[in-house]
Amino acid sequence: MKTIFKFFLNLFPRPILIRLSYVIRPLLAFFLRGKRYTDPIDGKSFRTFLPYGYGKQRPNVLSPSTLSLERHRLFWLYIKNETDFFSEKYRVLHFAPEQCFLKRFRQLKNIDYTTTDLLSPIADVKADICNLPFKDNSYDVIFCNHVLEHIPDDTKAMQELYRVMKPGGFGIFQIPQDLNRESTFEDNTITDKVERAKIFGQYDHVRVYGRDYFDKLRHVGFKVEEVDYTATLSDSEIDKYRLAKGEIIPLVRK
């Protein structure tokens, strides 16, 4: 199973994988149903989750029903339990919308919801994050998760995110991060896809963020809270939901 998933991840471009997943997902959810692990996004339980990863694969992390990963389930638990996202009237901008959230967010009556991405086939607005077609101070809430590690000029992207967020607004900007690194690592001389996946975690990532990521956001103007939400959960809950213990949620405000 692990080898098969790695083969498909590397064989097909991401837009095609997104489309294929709509067909495969119901079959996976049926054959892996059980009671040991639960996806909090849809409440369904399974005997096991699936492996995932472009470089080194992580076992038991991909939900068969929503195709969520550790970061998605952590994000969901946090905004559901710790914010008023599901009740307050907000104008929301969502970058590279994840399938596990898209339909659920579209059904919310309390938000005015816009999705954007340069390549995603499921985004409303095709746009470059470094040159957004939105007015200043347009959005109350911005979600931009696992996007910035793909952007060569991430400072410009952060400045654009700050520009279009309303004063008093908030956002969550998750990234793959090595918390043992003080400084972010980049090396454009590494061009081999296999080597890049090994070093950066994915062939199309341009950096590995260190702890200085939070200060980079602060330098742009954001107020940043480094939220370790797993610290509020029991070990049994972390295992049940298949979360990454100690993963930090970057909560930003303007």
Task: Report the DSSP pairing between strands 33-38 and 125-126.
Answer: unpaired
Rounded to an integer, the average pLDDT of 39-67 is: 88
> What CATH number belongs to 82-253?
3.40.50.150
Share of the chain above pLDDT 70, in %: 88
Assess whether pLDDT exceeds 90 at residue 129: yes
Radius of gyration of the chain (CA): 18
Q: What does the pLDDT look like over 180-200, one tens digit per residue? A: 999 999 988 887 878 777 777
Length of the chain: 254
Assess whether pLDDT exceeds 90 at residue 124: yes
Assess whether pLDDT exceeds 50 at residue 107: yes
Residue position matching structure tokens 């950096």: 207
Query: Helix (H, G, I), strand (E, B), or coil: what is residue 137?
Result: coil
Domain residue ranges in the chain: 2-70, 82-253
Are the CB atoms for 41 and 52 separated by under 8 Å? no
Q: What does the pLDDT look like over 12-47, one tens digit per residue? A: 444 444 455 555 666 676 678 889 999 999 999 999
pLDDT at 5: 45
CB-based contacts of 17, cutoff 8 Å, min separation 6: 8, 9
Cβ neighbours of 235 (radius 10 Å):
9
Residue 75 burial (C-beta neighbours within 10 Å; 0-12, 13-18, 19+): buried
Closest CA to 230 of 36, 78, 109, 118: 78
pLDDT at 55: 62
Q: What does the pLDDT look like over 146-159, one tens digit per residue? A: 999 999 999 999 99
Q: In which band, very low, low, confident or very high, does the pLDDT at 251 lie, cut at 50, 70 and 90?
A: very high
Cβ neighbours of 252 (radius 10 Å):
24
